[in-house]
Structures are given as structure tokens and as C-alpha cells.
Amino acid sequence: MKPLPFIEINPRLCARCGTCVHDCLAGILFFPERSSSEADSVSSLPEFCEGGAERCFQCQHCLAVCPTGALSFAGKRPEDSFPIGKLPEPELVRNLLRQRRSIRDYRRENVSAEIMRELRNVMDFVPTGCNDHRLRFTWSSDVKVTDSFRERVSSWLQERELTGTLPASLARFAAFIPALKSGKDIFFRNAPHFVAISVPPEAKDAHIDPFIAASQLEILASAFGLGTCWAGMATDLFNGSDELYEKLNIPDGFVLKIVLLFGIPAVHYARVPQPEPCVHQELET
């Protein structure tokens, strides 16, 4: 039998049902051919095809789909996986998606440490291209930390405008300086927290993975009663200033893609707005 890179199969638990073989998207698991005399043998286990180790993109579907829990992947055992749980009714999901709003008014208090842990832990499960999970989440988990960014961004922008050294890519932000001087928080919307999501540019889907992560994070945050807001201006400001970017402590080899604000909303919406419908087109044969 060829060795099974990454995979261990418990022969006592394996039912030889072929579920893992059938569900392997890369098509690298197979049952070896058996002679008629071996047809009823229970000794044959799934094997990797030639070059399978290189083609495996580590989706762990084989681990997840095995009905008897016979298969471990790279030291990850089935008994350590989260169990399959109950999903919300479609009506609840529809309500969540319809009622989600971009929040720009927050209570000045920290989200509980328990909820912060939940937000972080679930981000390990966001989908990425070819399961390249090199997403990096840089969290501001305390309103005092976010305040320091608020103050630094405001003073940096005013200093650059005053000295005529504001980068051309950020020139449009000069229009906000009077508001900043009056104490308005243009870039962080008074949010107590934010998370900056970065990714290596060579990741398979670096152009979209951080935005999928931010979308799933805001849905989960909404389920906890939190508000969120995609901070495109803050993202542009960080990316346009080496000095501000360095404050995020994003390591070399990663690129900031999006900043997401979040916290406990200070506003309650009494009804769902009525957006203009998107275009839906049916394909024909």
C-alpha cells in the first residue's frame, strides 16, 4: 500500500464505504483494485493516488465526511472536531440579512471578552481560495486603543495638510479637516473597536478572501447584537501613509485589504429600508 500523506485511517473503524473517496474533490483517494478472491476482504483501505500529496489542497472534507470517524488529517482527529449542530431557520437568516445596517453611531463601551473570543474563533472557519488560511486579523479590542488611533489619524492628517505633505492619493481627505478639528470622528465613526484584515498578496484569492471574511464577521457580529461598518476611508488612509500603517504592526509579506468597525450600536432602527432591487437574470439552454 502506498503511504497516505497527511492522512491516518483507523482500520478498525473504517467501514470501507468509499464516502471519503467519493467526496474528495481533488480525486486523489481511491480503493486499490482487488481480485475476485479478495472482493469480500475487509483489509483494503483507501489509498492516495500517485502525486496525491502534491494535489491535496487540505480541505479536510475526508475528515469531515467519514461517518465512522475513522480518518484523521495531519494530526487532527475526528473526535476533536466540533459536532454538527442545529442551523437557524431560513426566516431568522432572512431577518438577519435584511435588518443588517452599516452602523455609524456606537455606545462608548467595550464588547465583552466572551463575545470577542467568539468573533475571533469563528474566523478560523471562513472559506478561502484553495484553503489558504493565511488571513491575518489585527484587532483593536479596547476603546482606549481605538482612541489612540483616532487621535493619531486626526493629528497626522492635520499635520500633513498644514505642511503641504499630504500624499496625492489622500488629497481628498483634506476636506474633512474642519470636521476633525471640531471633534467629529470621520474615519472610525466613534466605534469602540475595529479589525484590520490583511493577506499575503500571493495567496490564491487574496483579492477576495479578506472581504468574504469581513462579510461573515459582520453577520456573526449582528447575531450577537453588534453593529459593524466597512471603513473604506480608514483602509485607504492606512494604506496611503507608511507612518499610520506601521501602527497596525502588520508584518512584511501581508497587505491590508479592509478595516471593519464594530461595537454596540447607539441607535435602533424601527424598520427595514426598501432598497432598489438588484437585477436577476435567468439563463436559458
What is the rounded distance in angstroms from the CA atom of residue 174 to the CA atom of residue 78?
Answer: 55
Please write the tens of the pLDDT for every residue from 229-275.
999 999 999 999 999 999 999 999 999 999 999 999 999 999 999 99
Q: Which residues pair with 255 in a beta bridge?
A: 199
Do 111 and 209 form a contact (C-beta atoms < 8 A)?
no
**Band of residue 1 on the pLDDT scale cut at 50, 70, 90:** very low
How does DSSP assign 213-237, residue by residue? HHHHHHHHHHHTT-EEEE-HHHHHH
Three cell numbers, residue 259 = 478595516
Q: With 80 as the cut, is the pLDDT of residue 2 above it?
A: no
| Bridging pattern class, strands 136-140 and 29-30 | unpaired
| Bridging pattern class, strands 71-73 and 7-9 | antiparallel
pTM of this prediction?
0.91
Q: With 60 as the cut, is the pLDDT of residue 57 above it?
A: yes
How does DSSP assign 79-90, residue by residue? GGSPPP-PPPPH
> Domain locations in the chain?
7-80, 90-263
pLDDT at 181: 94
CA distances (Å), origin 44, targets 15, 62, 95, 226: 10, 17, 49, 52
pLDDT at 4: 62
Mean pLDDT of all residues belonging to the chain: 93
Three cell numbers, residue 137 = 486579523
Alpha helices in 56-198 (DSSP H): 61-65, 90-99, 113-122, 143-163, 177-181
Closest CA to 228 of 100, 136, 80, 135: 100
CATH class (in words) of the domain with range 7-80: alpha beta
Closest CA to 57 of 111, 133, 115: 133
**Band of residue 43 on the pLDDT scale cut at 50, 70, 90:** low
> Percent of the chain having pLDDT more than 90?
84
**Band of residue 58 on the pLDDT scale cut at 50, 70, 90:** confident
The domain 90-263 is placed in CATH, from the list 3.30.70.260, 3.40.50.300, 3.40.109.10, 2.60.120.1310, at 3.40.109.10
pLDDT at 178: 96
Higher pLDDT: 54 or 280? It is 280
Q: With 60 as the cut, is the pLDDT of residue 96 above it?
A: yes
pLDDT at 251: 95
Give the mean model confidence (pLDDT) for residues 271-281: 96
Q: Which of 19-33, 71-85, 167-181, 237-251 has the lowest mean pLDDT?
A: 19-33
**Phi, psi of 229, deg, nearest 5:** -155, 130
pLDDT at 33: 73
Q: With 50 as the cut, is the pLDDT of residue 3 above it?
A: yes
Three cell numbers, residue 279 = 437585477
